Chains A and B, each alone.
Chain A
Amino acid sequence: AQSVTQPDIHITVSEGASLELRCNYSYGATPYLFWYVQSPGQGLQLLLKYFSGDTLVQGIKGFEAEFKRSQSSFNLRKPSVHWSDAAEYFCAVGFLYGGATNKLIFGTGTLLAVQP
């Protein structure tokens, strides 16, 4: 069955430090991959997406992610974390049906805390 795994439930980093959030997926075909961020009490904001082509994708707020087919991974990175990055991050795989995404399978999320 298709699934998304985020092995880290909670991560704490110091402000200015680098960040990598892990995401592994199980999917039979080339996946459509997404990272979303949810700030406390807020909805979901799309950080970046991968559909095809260059396996290193750039997103908003200085985030990037790399698709590695051999490892079935799509890890999110940021070189220098800001206090405002504290939030919950979700990795997701998209399924196509009828010409558009009809469903996202989400990971369970990684809660990021940023220390001063």
Chain B
Amino acid sequence: EAQVTQNPRYLITVTGKKLTVTCSQNMNHEYMSWYRQDPGLGLRQIYYSMNVEVTDKGDVPEGYKVSRKEKRNFPLILESPSPNQTSLYFCASNPLGAGANVLTFGAGSRLTVL
């Protein structure tokens, strides 16, 4: 089944403890991106990647890092999480060519930073 898989789905952590949210897609998509969803704000893009080793900031990149060492994986790294990063996170992917304009989203990762 074509899908975007995120892990963990739920995580409670404490301020300053580094964490990584993994994202993997099995569709051989070139583009991948991360969004965070907050009440009253909708979804906002954190980072995106156009291909392996090509990443760029989205609208709210502060406090986050990403890497794209393999085409299928696009982990989101919080080096020193803070409570304002408590949010619901979505990873998405889309291809070049046919279907290039439609994103496939993962199921989401709910992160709580105490």
Contacts and interface: CB of A to CB of B under 8 A. Distances in A.
Interface of A: 4, 9, 32, 34, 42-44, 46, 49, 51, 90, 92, 94, 96-104, 106-109
B94 A101 contact: yes
Chain B binding site: helix, strand, loop or mixed by DSSP?
Answer: loop
Interface string B33-48: 1010000111111001
Q: Is the interface of A mostly helix, strand, loop or mixed?
A: strand
B40 A49 contact: no
A100 B42 contact: no
Contacts of A108: 40-42
B101 A94 contact: yes
B105 A100 contact: no
A55 B29 CA distance: 29
Given A103-B48, A104-B43, A106-B42, A43 B106 contact: yes
Contacts of A102: 31, 33, 48, 50
A9 B39 CA distance: 11
Contact of A101 (B44, B97, B101, B107): B101
A101 B40 contact: no
A23 to B, nearest CB: 12
Given A100-B95, A100-B101, A44 B42 contact: no
A93 B108 CA distance: 20
B41 A103 contact: no
Contacts of B59: 103
A101 B103 contact: yes
B61 interface: no
Nearest to A51: B101
A29 B28 CA distance: 30
Nearest to A101: B101
